[in-house]
Amino acid sequence: MIPFDPAHRKVYYPDDRRFFLWVRLSILIGIAIALGTAVAAAWLQYALRGLPYIPQVPQVEPNNFAGPHGFPLWVRYSHFFNFLFVTMLIRSGLQILYDHPRLYFNDGCTPGTEWIRFTPLRVPRDRLWTAKDDNRYLSPVVGTPGYSHTVGLARVWHFINVHGFILTGVIFISMLFGSEQWRRIVPTSRFVLPQAWSVWVHYATFHLPPEPNGYYGYNALQQIAYFSVVFIFGPLAILTGLAMSPALVNRFPWYARLFGGRQSARSLHFLTMLGFLAFLVVHVTLVVMTGFARNMNHIVLGTDTLGDRGIWLGMLGIGLVVLYWIIAHYLSWNYPRKLQHALKFVTYPMQRLTLNRLNPSQHYREQDISPYFWPNGKLPSHNQHWNELAADHFANYRLKVGGLVERPVELSLQDIEALGLVETITMHHCIQGWTGIAQWGGIPMRKLIELVRPLPQAKTVVFYSYWPSLFGDFYYDTQSLANVLKPECMLATRMNGEPLPLVYGAPLRLRVENQLGYKMVKWIERIEFVTSEKEVGEGEGGANEDHEYFDLLPNI
């Protein structure tokens, strides 16, 4: 275990580190029925008609085989790098999942409506239970970077590796259709499905079908499996990942509905990961069972030989992948700031040109409002001034707005609402994975900006909270001036038609709908206009960015 100080140990290495898996009974029954039906049908056919006939595969060699065959260098390299990136995406994805260890098919994320959870804890109703309380510990043997509530660094690894995964896929598919190799994995015959069923009957009844030499071709079931991984699982993983982008979904709500909603997209993203894992397990098992040495020589050396050189080089490749996991863990806990900056270097320019340019445009109805909205962050009850204000229902609250402005002001809640109260119904996206739809009432940030008139050098807005940060002295976050001028960005004083509840940020909170929720500061004490986020805190753009290595611009 990493030698944490007491404050970090309490967060990263909690006392409760139990592993737990619960799946809704109806889901388990559905899976059992689907799998049982397929297996039972295979056994029934075997009992009544015997094993279906599969022609013996003739022995082929390069000089008597005219079709595409072999494994060119680009196929072998793509195979290795795809394995490298997919395993890291799984490890970092599991770490992200464990920050909100529940999956739903509804965007309200009401506790008890999840279809699967990885926590033994039911949400207590007799005390405040936040989304941060709900996160779970994950062993660094399984996840990257491991431990509990390390979602910031997990996202660093996830997004760095997703670039490699996409690049590998683009190169592979380009080369695939630039040669005859596509014919090996793209079904072109109408007989492929009945042939695949025949192969399945053999496997399901514990009989090995006649095995083709993979150097020259695959059986029908193998072909469908390879086609699915390349052309279904890969694109689906990317598309469902995009459906979890607040910038994209809050600009085009219909996009998430293509997958049944934002949380359904998250569930499908997880199921796609399980698909990759299942393929990996079955694929490796069959590689071993059907001629390990020859198969390893195929994909490692590109030769159809029986020596053991491919095995040793293949084991070396697997060792390099495991070494990559270890290095990732080491870098995460020894150079987290450099990793954070590396991700920013890779993604920040592209985000500013793409997702960050989208203006939120949501159209939710009152009946869409979530019956439950996860609270996050403890009440700032340690702050005596906030306690006194709350006791008087914030009658004496004054928002101080200053910094690089022509007209510094102090505004009461009544003064704020007098600037022009508006209401919107929007979807909140938390970095931990949960969502919730609520109606927010407040003033557009542009109204405040028109009032205080920022100076030309003011490019960044800092929002300070009464709440302390997890590891620092004070909580704050920043927004670019351009982002707070976007539609639906507001200072909220109301929620669902009522004064803003204490637990959701009273007296005042920020709503900025093209980003993840941690950028929407609650319990706002004051606002300051500055030239750059580098002037505040440790210069990373917010308390979470400073201490937990979150993204400066979380559009996804």
Q: Are residues 404 and 434 in the same domain?
A: yes
Q: Is residue 319 part of a domain?
A: yes
- Start-to-end CA distance of the chain, whole Å, equals 31
For residue 67, give both structure tokens: 């079709």
Return the percentage of the chain with pLDDT > 90, whole number. 91
CA 59 to CA 57: how far, in whole Å?
7
Domain boundary among 355, 375, 398: 355
Domain contains 268: yes
pLDDT mean across residues, the chain: 95
What is the pLDDT, as a whole number, of residue 58? 66
Q: How far apart are CA 30 and CA 37, in angstroms?
A: 10
Domain that holds residue 177: 16-355
Could you report the per-residue pLDDT of 269-322, keeping only the tens digit for each? 999 999 999 999 999 999 999 999 999 999 999 999 999 999 999 999 999 999
User: Which residues pair with residue 444 across a beta bridge?
Assistant: 490
Where is the domain boundary, 355, 386, 413? 355
Q: Are residues 330 and 476 in the same domain?
A: no
The total number of structural domains in the chain stands at: 2
Name residues whose C-beta falls within 8 Å of residue 423's C-beta, 6 or more positions apart in sequence.
439, 440, 441, 494
Assess whether 252 and 394 both reside in one domain: no
| Calpha distance 344→347 (Å, rounded) | 5
Residue 468 burial by Cβ neighbours in a 10 Å radius (0-12, 13-18, 19+): middle
CATH number of the domain within which 470 lies:
3.90.420.10
**Residue 347 CA: distances (Å) to CA of 45, 158, 214:** 54, 12, 39
- What pLDDT, on the 0 to 100 scale, is given for residue 427? 97
Task: Tell me, yes or no, whether 291 and 411 share the same domain.
Answer: no
Q: Are residues 329 and 375 in the same domain?
A: no
Q: What is the pTM of this model?
A: 0.94
pLDDT for 57 equals 67
Paired strand residues for 511: 490
User: Do 346 and 368 reside in the same domain of the chain?
Assistant: no
Residue 182 and residue 237 in one domain? yes
Token pair, residue 363, equals 């159209």
**Of 300, 322, 355, which closes a domain?**
355
pLDDT at site 3: 86
pLDDT, tens digit, 9 for 90 and up, residues 195-209? 999 999 999 999 989
CA atoms within 13 A on the CB side of 385: 10
pLDDT number for residue 473 = 78
pLDDT tens-digit map of 54-90: 887 666 666 667 788 899 999 999 999 999 999 999 9
Whether residue 266 is contained in a domain is answered as yes
Pair 298, 433 in one domain: no
- CA angle 171/176/178 to nearest 5° reads 95
**165 located within any domain:** yes
Domain shared by 94 and 220, yes or no: yes
Do 350 and 435 lie in one domain? The reply is: no
- Are 417 and 513 found together in one domain? yes
Task: Report residues of the chain scoring pLDDT below 70.
Answer: 57-64
Give the per-residue pLDDT at 59: 66
> Within a domain: residue 7?
no
Domain contains 204: yes
- Is 335 in the same domain as 423? no
Cα separation, 86 vs 229, whole angstroms: 11
Query: Which residues share a beta bridge with 22?
Result: 117
Residue 552 lies in a domain: no
Helix (H) or strand (E) holding 262: helix 262-289
How far apart CA 468 and CA 491 sit, in angstroms, is: 20
> Strand, coil or helix: what is 96?
helix
Q: Is residue 25 part of a domain?
A: yes
Question: What is the C-alpha separation between 156 and 144, in angstroms, rounded?
Answer: 10
